[in-house]
Amino acid sequence: MIAVKTSGEMAVLRENGATLAAIVQRLRSKIKPGISTAYLDNIAAELIREQGAIAAFKGYRDFPATICASINEEIVHGIPSTKRVLRDGDIISIDIGLIRNGFYADMAITVPVGEVSLQARKLILITQAALSRGINQVKIGNRVSDISHAIGRCIEGAGFYPVKEYAGHGIGRELHEDPSIPNYGLPNQGGAMLRAGMVLALEPMAKTDSLPVRVMPDGWTVVTATRGLAAHCEHMVALTEDGVEVLTKIKFPKETSECK
Ligand code: MG
């Protein structure tokens, strides 16, 4: 069942989304060659605490950290470590969540470290563009498959591959609520109808190879099969009578890319 939020609940979600976006903006400014993912994790933990919130991922199914930090071929769920030091040319995805006043917020970005390859930059920009395309489909009366198709088509149109094993989700009193929102799919496949009051976390993941993903022996880190690059970004959005609203709005760098 898909939870429809009251305006009071929506106000809490809106506030939490804005808080998380501000934290992500701070974290992004710290990313540079030479720092470790554990350093970013410590900062994230501190920033969440400062806001009177609790880290959502720490302890979730025993995940050991505040953020997921996934570098290059790592797609999602990378575990921060003092041994993972960012190098010029890497791309890093940071996925972060918090809970405050009974409601979750969830967001992810992928950021270039120093100078990255043309392919890496394109992959990041297309993943962001796919997210925008997905958000554009969040309309009253549309179906979940409209979102999925828009995201997948953007990624595939650029010559990349959507990650099929992980999906976006509803969010609210639970971190992962119904509906599940795949990042690919044919148009007009139905799925749940979108209604005012729904809050969704859309999170396209794109990669450079077409093979199924793998999970590393740590039980968490998801990687591409051939070590090709992957990117991931996520926004929380609310659907109201006035339309779609991005709750985790952040200023992305000016450079953008368009889907075909
Ligand atoms: Mg999520």
Each residue's pLDDT tens digit, 96-140? 999 999 999 999 999 999 999 999 999 999 999 999 999 999 999
| pLDDT tops 80 at residue 32 | yes
- 243 or 254, which is more confident? 243
CA of 97 to the centre of ligand 1 (A): 8
Q: What are the two backbone dihedrals, phi and then psi, of residue 66, each rounded to the nearest 5 degrees? A: -80, -40
The model's confidence at residue 260, banded by pLDDT at 50, 70 and 90, is confident
- How far, in Å, from the CA of 210 to the mean position of ligand 1? 22
Where exactly are the structural domains of the chain? 7-246
Residue 105 Cα to ligand 1 midpoint, Å, equals 9
Ligand 1 centroid – CA 107 distance (Å): 6
The number of beta carbons lying within 10 Å of the beta carbon of residue 253 is 11
Helix (H, G, I), strand (E, B) or coil at 88: coil
CA of 20 to the centre of ligand 1 (A): 13
Residue type at position 168: G
Cα(207) to ligand 1 centroid in Å equals 17
What distance in angstroms lies between residue 7's CA and the mean position of ligand 1's atoms? 22
Q: What is the pTM of this model?
A: 0.96
Q: Give the CATH architecture of domain 7-246.
A: Alpha-Beta Complex (3.90)
Longest dimension (CA), the chain: 48
Q: Please give the average per-residue pLDDT across 206-228, as a whole number.
A: 97
Q: What is the model's pLDDT at position 1?
A: 83
